[in-house]
A and B are shown apart, each in its own frame.
Chain A
Amino acid sequence: MNKVELLAPAKDLEKAKIAIMYGTDAVYVGGKFYSLRSRASNFTNSDLQELSAFAKEHGAKVFVTVNIVFHDDDYYGIREYLRFLEKIRIDAVIISSLALIPIVRQEAPHVECHISTQLSSLNSSAVRTLKEFGADRVVLAREAGIRQIRQIAGKVSIPLEVFIHGGMCSNFSGRCVLSNRMTLRDANRGGCAHSCRWKYKLYDGDELVSDPHCLMSMSSKDLRASAYIEAMIRCGVASMKIEGRMKSEYYIGQVVKTYRNMIDEIYEKGSLSPSRLEYYDNELSKAENRPSDDGFLSGDCDNSKHLYGVNGAGVTHDYVAFVHAYDERRSLAIVEVKNVFKAGEELEAFGPDLDNVRFKAELMFDENWNSIVLANKPTQYLFLRVPFKAAYGDMIRKAVRI
């Protein structure tokens, strides 16, 4: 049996490399055009080329999102773009325009076509239809529960991809144009204004029936499928996808590392004990800035799976520094400050080859070797004493007192 693929998002080259370093099997990114996350930095062609080479070196795959809902004008340049993706050996494109399937076959015969969750595939008949259309993989709708995923996987002969973590559309993906109506931004062409997370009054005729102290919202909690990873592996799901092309390198690093270790442990030991699952859940919480739950995986989504009033909550850790280099002789790391920390505070470092090591921030020097006690300038480079071997790509955080 092939090992399930872990698939991570990245908004720029740096984050894509972090995802690969932290153990993802594949990364999905958007180019400058045709991609749904218009606010993500997105990749120039030269970035894509560099990423592809980096990924190949590390045995990882690269998928490029070409997933806007195309209008006629949007196809301009698409053939040339696909030829370019073929040339730089991109592994797959994630598409929602079915007409792209034959075009990809012509222009980029070695690039697979993965059908985006925008098409909300929710049953095995829909998956079969897409296979017949020429798809190489189908991303299932986030509305499918684990029972349905198991049933679908048992009935189709095409790789299935399932979301396991991150933000969720509260409506069916691709079938929400609230943003178009309320802001003239096309949700299906990268302009989603997240109108579902806004607050609404509710009337029955002319009578106000909503609670003025708790207005209605369609905002959903984020998805966290940690408790279902083992079941998904047993179902034969081909790929587990993390959402978040707008997210920081800290989120990417922490979430990828946690799921990487979880998947590897399940393959190694056959299953995950409750205490190990609790450990991994705790690790995922360190990267969370919105409450999460298991979405539709356990069945229906009741009111406990919605957010009314607050959107962000529950940050347990602040990401304070990124390690760029380490001088083993002097036990000093060159770090880039991300958030405030000060001498005497307990910090925790983690990295691709480093598991949660705690230490106290003691000696700190600025670029001119002046001793400092407070790191409060984001992007500033500092020398920080780290009493163990650190390396490029490691990250440092501190617990937030709640």
Chain B
Amino acid sequence: MEILVTLRKLEQLEKILPFTDGVICGRHFTTGYRFSMKELEQICRYCRALNKKFYIVMDNFISEDEKILMYDYLNAIENMNVDGIYFHDLGVMDAARSYGLTSKLIYDGKSVLCNSLDTAFMLEKGIDSVVLSRELTLSEIKEIARNNPGRVDLQIFGHLRLSYSRRRFLSNYFSQIGKDYDYFDKESLRLVEEQREYRMPIVEDGNGTFIYSDFIFAMFSQICELRPYLKRGIIDTLFIEDEKRIVQVCRDYRRISEYNKQFIEDSFYHNFPDNYSSGYLFRKTNISKDE
């Protein structure tokens, strides 16, 4: 299993790359991991020099108006000879074919890819692999990964995306209350439901508004049994500024085994205290409204 990290800042590359198998970032149709094309080329070259992998992410939807940009972007990506392209919009499959990029595509359906049959269906279309939904239990992940061995990626660390809207929730809200506030592309904003306490990161940029889990998903203890079936594990660094922690996460996921997993997990949580959670690995989210 490759361990990949989403790259947020160019200056982090040098520090993080030695401890990971590659990085994920992009220019268009993504939120939080954006670089200029020139920077992307630089990152790509640096990865190549260190024999590391370089992946592009396009994890937002693409409107009809943005299609030309999508084609131009894929053309530029083709020239960069990237190792893979994480995509969310099914239109990318149609466009990528024109550039011979189908076999480099990795489908990240976010919350809609939750079963073995859909996984197999997408893989049959000639793409490289898929990223499973974050709302799955551990046993569901195992089942899907076993049914599609070596073709499945998984987010193994970081805040989980809870919602994605084309609406500009923050700008609309500040307009509504008549407040002039610097909110755009800002990562320090937190949303708190009036009856609850937890604080969910919320970001608005040119792609829309995104809300993430209050907790940081982590699965140190579970990765050992999944590792043989997974193609890649993704460490999402969104809202995590601390480089030392990112490096430690990468190192720990690489060296963790059945024998040291308790020690590694305990040490990590002790050294980098935060709101960690196993997410839905042991909690089904299928309670009906009548329950």
Contacts and interface: CB of A to CB of B under 8 A. Distances in A.
A300 B65 CA distance: 13
A180 B192 contact: no
Interface string A275-314: 0000000000000000000001000111101101000000
Interface stretch (B77-85, B91-99, B258-266): B91-99
A229 interface: no
B89 interface: yes
Contact of A70 (B114, B176, B188): B114
A176 B163 contact: yes
Given A184-B283, A191-B287, A120 B61 contact: yes
B118 interface: yes
A218 B169 contact: yes
Given A119-B112, A216-B173, A71 B117 contact: no
B283 A72 contact: no
A130 interface: yes
A186 B286 contact: yes
A98 B118 contact: yes
Nearest to A218: B169
Counting chain A CB atoms within 10 Å of each CB, the highest count among B66, B135, B189 belongs to B135
Given A74-B115, A143-B61, A172-B166, A123 B89 contact: yes
Interface string A147-180: 1100110000000000000000011101111101
B167 A170 contact: yes
Interface in B88-114: 89-95, 110-112, 114
Contacts of A178: 162-163, 211
B63 A148 contact: yes
A82 to B, nearest CB: 13
Given A175-B164, A182-B193, A191-B289, A129 B93 contact: yes
Contacts of B287: 183-186, 191
A199 B193 contact: yes
B111 A203 contact: no
B78 to A, nearest CB: 16
A96 B283 CA distance: 24
Contacts of A96: 112
Interface residues of B, number: 74
B56 interface: no
A296 B208 CA distance: 13
A193 interface: yes
A71 B186 CA distance: 35
Given A185-B289, A204-B188, A306-B172, A175 B89 contact: no
A75 B112 contact: no
A167 B287 CA distance: 23
B75 interface: no
Interface stretch (B16-24, B136-144, B247-255): B136-144
B190 A123 contact: no
B173 A175 contact: no
Interface in B270-291: 280, 283-289
B267 interface: no
A188 interface: yes
A177 B135 contact: yes
A101 to B, nearest CB: 8
B173 A97 contact: no
Contacts of B140: 71-72
A125 interface: yes
Nearest to A306: B172
Contacts of B62: 122-123, 125-126
Given A70-B118, A306-B173, 4 more contacts: A72-B116, A200-B191, A218-B167, A296-B166
Interface of A: 38-39, 69-72, 74-75, 96-99, 101-102, 118-130, 132-133, 141, 143-144, 147-148, 151-152, 170-172, 174-178, 180-186, 188-191, 193, 195-196, 198-205, 209-211, 214-216, 218, 220, 296, 300-303, 305-306, 308
The 7 closest A-B pairs by CB, nearest first: A125-B91, A99-B117, A126-B91, A303-B172, A125-B94, A99-B121, A180-B285
5 contacts: A38-B289, A133-B121, A186-B287, A198-B195, A202-B191
